């Protein structure tokens, strides 16, 4: 790829750029970036990754093969409308904007373009994101493969239907926070039972890494793995009984359902806001 343009310079944008450059997907000098007004941020990214930046839309978009939309969703309508006149019919749009549908992006560009929606999570920062991709009918196999390779530089990338993205948001998009919440509880319990906080953290993190590796490499289902650790009358069984008594598994299921529902509500609100802006413009 000879040129890529990234609109927005937040943490997800940086994580993707870092992965692409480290994995030699694209050279830093071939990445052009801009943001709303924080030039110091762009200068820092230029120094660290060798990217180029500009506030001139023609300079940003001219000759680019891919435009990555990574601004804040509230700024999306204005930004997309500004870049629209410079987009060619084969320019690939890749959006990491939560809640903004492919149809809405198409409407804002006022053009029929190949569009990919991506839902990475914050683990992209350490190259371990679980990213879901949804596409429209204009995206070619070559373009899809290119985007998939791009997100594989920061973790796993898988293709889903667009109407599944809210569920992905509730599960893996918000998922890291659920794990951190669990770790908070484990750390607090460790202190209460008399363990040193720093030592407890090391034990907890390694336990999570080990369990994740077992899930990743074993052909056994999570239920079977759990049962193999749970001896009748043993310590694990005693602990699991407390979790069951408090309905922890049910609470996690309800948590993910509610996060999914909230993703749908936020998406509908953003779409309504953009539609109103379009009517008044």
Instruction: Tell me the per-residue pLDDT of 92-121, one tens digit each, with 9 for 90 and over.
Output: 999 999 889 999 999 999 999 999 999 999
pLDDT at position 275: 78
- Collect all residues with Cβ–Cβ distance below 8 Å to 119 and sequence separation of at least 6: 96, 98, 131, 132, 133, 165, 168, 169, 172, 173
Question: What CA–CA distance (Å, rounded) separates 203 from 162?
Answer: 39
Q: Inform me whether the pLDDT recorded for 126 exceeds 70.
A: yes
pLDDT at position 148: 98
Structure confidence by residue, pLDDT tens digits, 16-72 = 999 999 999 999 999 999 999 999 999 999 999 999 999 999 999 999 999 999 998
- Please state, rounded to an integer, the average pLDDT across all residues of the chain: 95
Domain span(s) for CATH 1.10.3730.10 in the chain: 173-258
pLDDT at position 276: 79
CATH number belonging to domain 173-258: 1.10.3730.10
Residue 131, classed as helix, strand or coil, is: strand
- The sign of the torsion formed by the CA atoms of 142, 146, 151, 154 equals positive
CB atoms within 10 A of CB 119: 26
pLDDT at position 277: 74
Domain span(s) for CATH 3.40.50.720 in the chain: 4-165
CATH class of 4-165: alpha beta
Q: What is the DSSP pairing of strand 115-119 with strand 31-34?
A: unpaired
Give all strands (DSSP E) within 70-119, no chain letters. 92-95, 115-119
Instruction: Kindly state the percentage of the chain with pLDDT values over 90.
Output: 89
C-alpha 70, offset from chain centre: 11
Q: Inform me whether the pLDDT recorded for 279 exceeds 80.
A: no
pLDDT at position 269: 86
- The answer to which of 35-39, 203-207, 264-268 has the lowest mean pLDDT is 264-268
């Amino acid at each position: 790829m000879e040129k890529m343009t990234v609109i927005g310079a937040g943490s997800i944008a940086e994580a993707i750029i870092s992965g692409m450059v480290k994995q030699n997907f694209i050279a830093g000098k071939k990445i052009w970036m801009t943001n709303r007004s924080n030039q110091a941020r762009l200068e820092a990214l230029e120094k660290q990754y060798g990217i180029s930046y500009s506030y001139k839309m023609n300079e940003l978009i001219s000759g680019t093969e891919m435009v990555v939309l990574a601004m804040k969703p509230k700024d999306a309508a204005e930004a997309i409308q500004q870049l629209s006149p410079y987009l060619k019919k084969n320019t690939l749009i890749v959006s990491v904007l939560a809640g903004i549908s492919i149809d809405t992006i198409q409407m804002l560009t006022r053009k029929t373009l190949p569009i990919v929606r991506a839902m990475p999570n914050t683990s992209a920062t350490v190259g371990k994101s679980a990213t879901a991709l949804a596409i429209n009918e204009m995206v070619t196999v070559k373009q899809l493969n290119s985007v998939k390779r791009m997100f594989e530089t920061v973790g796993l990338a898988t293709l889903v239907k667009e109407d599944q993205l809210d569920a992905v948001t509730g599960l893996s998009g918000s998922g890291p926070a659920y794990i951190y919440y669990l770790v908070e509880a484990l750390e607090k319990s460790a202190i209460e039972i008399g363990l040193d906080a720093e030592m407890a953290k090391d034990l907890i993190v390694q336990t999570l890494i080990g369990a994740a590796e077992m899930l990743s490499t074993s052909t056994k289902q999570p239920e079977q793995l759990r049962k193999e650790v749970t001896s009748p009358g043993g310590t694990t069984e005693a602990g699991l009984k407390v979790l069951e008594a408090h309905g922890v598994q049910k609470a996690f299921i309800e948590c993910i359902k509610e996060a999914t529902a909230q993703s749908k509500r936020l998406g509908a609100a953003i779409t309504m806001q953009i539609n109103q802006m379009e009517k008044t413009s």
